[in-house]
Amino acid sequence: MAAARSAVDVVDGEVRELIRRRGLDPFVDPAPVRVLVRDVLADYSERSLSSALPPVGDPEAVARDVLDRVAGYGPLQRYLDDPEVEEIWVNAPGRVFVARRGRSELTTTVLGPGQLADLVERMLRTSGRRVDMSTPFVDAMLPDGSRLHVVIPDVTRRHMAVNIRKFVLQAHSLDELVALGTLTAQVARFLDASVAAGLNVLVSGGTQAGKTTLLNCLCAAIPARERVITCEEVFELRVPLPDVVAMQTRQANLEGAGEIPLRRLVKEALRMRPSRLVVGEVRQEECLDLLIALNSGLPGMCTLHANSAREAVVKMCTLPLLAGENIGHAFVVPTVASSVDLVVHVGTDPSGQRRVREVVALPGRTEGSVVETADVFTGRDGRLVRADGYPPHADRYAAHGFDLAALLGDRP
C-alpha cells in the first residue's frame, strides 16, 4: 500500500507539472488531462522496470486516483461518482459521512491536513462565490448540479462543516414517481390535472424528503405553451419546457454590495411576463411577495420545510410577518386561504423510501385566524387513499377538459 501510494504521488506530481507547462485547465477541459494521465502512467511503468521507482500494481486504480486529485475533488470524488450516494458531509477531516437511500454512514475516508480547505476552494472556483471571515456561510452549486454548503470556524467549533447534496434526480415525471412507489397512480393523475389547470401547489416536507424532486416532476406537468420563471437560492430545478428563465440569488461582494436575495428575484420575476412562477423554497419574508403574486392570479408552485401539510399552511401564514411590522395576520391569513390551493406533503419512511403522505386542499375559507383545510388524499395503514375533501376551482378543471369526480375516484 505504501509503495502504491508513493507511485500515485510521483505520477500526480509529474501530471501537475505537465498541466502547468501546457496551460491546461482540468475542470474546463478534462479530456486532455485524462490522456495526459495515461501517458505519464505508461511512461512511469516503463521507468519503474529499470529503476528504484516503486512498481504500479493496479494501473487503473492509480490513474483514477490521480484524476480524482487533479481533475476532481480528491477522496470525495468517489462518492460524487457513486449513483447510490445522495449526500456527503464532512464534520472534520477524519469524519466524512455519506447518505445512501436516506440512511447515513460514517466512511473510512480521512482527509490530510489542509486538504479539506483546498477542496472547498476548488469547489467554489467555478461558482463565483466565496467563504471567509466576513462571509462564514456559503451556498453554491458544483458543475454537476450538486449543492454545496460550507460553514467555517469560528462559527463552527474547530473544523469546516461541508455538505454536498448531490443532484440525484431519480424521476422526471409523476409517472416515474409512481414507478418508484412515491405516490399512487390516482394521485399522480390528480396532481397532473391540478397543475395543468393552473392551481397553486405547495410542496412540504422535511430535509431530504424529496421536495425538489417532486416539484421538478410537477413542473413537467406544466403545459408546454406557458412561460415559466424560476427563483432559487441555488439552481436545482430542471423544468423541461422551451420557455423557461431560471434565476438564482447572489451573495454580496467584498465591499458588501451586490447582494440579490430571493425576495428581489420574486419581485423581478413579475416583470418578466411569466405564465407561471416557481420558487425553489421559501424560508423568509419572500413568502409575502410570493403570496402577493399568487393572489394576483399568477399560477405558481414552491416548496417549504414543514412536518405536515397543516403545519405548512401555518408556516405560510407566519413567514410573511417577517417582512415588516405593517404586515399582520388580518391580511396574511385570508391571502393564504385564497392563494394556496393544494399542499402536497412528502416524507421519508424508516427504510429511506420517500412517499407522499397527504394531499390537502384549501377551500378558501378562514375561521378567525385559522385557514380551513380539507383532506383530498390521506395516509392510512401505510397507503395513500382518497379522503372526503375536494380541491377548489372545480371550474378550472372543467375548463381544461378534466372530469374532477373521475380523477378523485368518486365516479367510475
pLDDT of residue 3: 47
Strand partners, 253: none
- Residue 158 corresponds to which cell in the numbers above? 474547530
Same fold, 77-165 and 174-408: no
How far, in Å, CA of 76 to CA of 110, rounded?
A: 10
pLDDT tens for each residue of 2-32: 444 577 778 878 888 888 888 887 777 778 8
Q: pTM above the 0.85 mark?
A: no
pLDDT of residue 168: 66
Confirm if 219 and 301 have CB atoms less than 8 A apart: yes
Q: Identify the CATH number of the domain defined by range 174-408.
A: 3.40.50.300
Task: Give yes or no for a cis peptide into 68 (omega within 30° of 0).
Answer: no
Spatial neighbors of 256 by CB under 8 A, at least 6 apart, are 134
pLDDT of residue 18: 85
Contacts 24+ apart (CB under 8 A), 47-55: 48/7, 53/7, 53/10, 54/3, 54/4, 54/6, 54/7, 54/10, 55/3, 55/7
Closest CA to 384 of 363, 406, 354, 411: 354
Residue extents of the structural domains in the chain: 2-72, 77-165, 174-408
pLDDT tens for each residue of 360-379: 999 999 988 899 999 999 99
Neighbours of 132 (CB within 10 A): 9
| Low-confidence residues of the chain: pLDDT under 70 | 1-5, 168-169, 411-412
Fold (CATH) for 77-165: Beta-Lactamase (3.30.450)
How far, in Å, CA of 95 to CA of 291, rounded?
A: 42
pLDDT of residue 274: 94
pLDDT of residue 412: 57
